[in-house]
Chain A
Amino acid sequence: MVIVDDHLALLALAGRIPDLGLAGPVVTTYGFQYRMVRALSDSARSGALSRRLAEPATAVARAVRPPADRLVVLDPRSSLQSAVGVAARHPANLLLAELVGAALHHRAAIRVTPENTGRTWAQIMDVEGVDFASIGP
Chain B
Amino acid sequence: MLLRRLLAAAVQLGLGLAAGLLLLEAVLRVNPHLLLRGMAAAAPIDAPLTASDYAVRFSDADLFFWHASLIHPIAPLQDQVEAQVHFETDEFGFANSAPLPARADIVVLGRSFSQGAQAADPWPRLFSQQSGEAVVNLAQPASGIELKHRYLQQFGFPRQPRWVVLEVLPSMDILGFGPDPAVQITALPFPLAQTLARRVIAAQAPAAPDYIYPLAVHIGAQSFNLVFFSYYLSALSASRADIEASHQWASYQQAVLDLAADSHAHGSCVALLYAPTKEELFFTLAANPQQLALALSAGWQGWRLASDSNLIQDAPTPRDPAQLQAQAGAARGLVADFAASHQLVFIDPTVAMAAAVADGHDPFMTYDSHWSALGHAIVAGQVNQALETHPCP
Q: Do A and B bind?
A: no
Which of A's residues lie within 8 Å of B, judged by CB?
none
Which of B's residues lie within 8 Å of A, judged by CB?
none
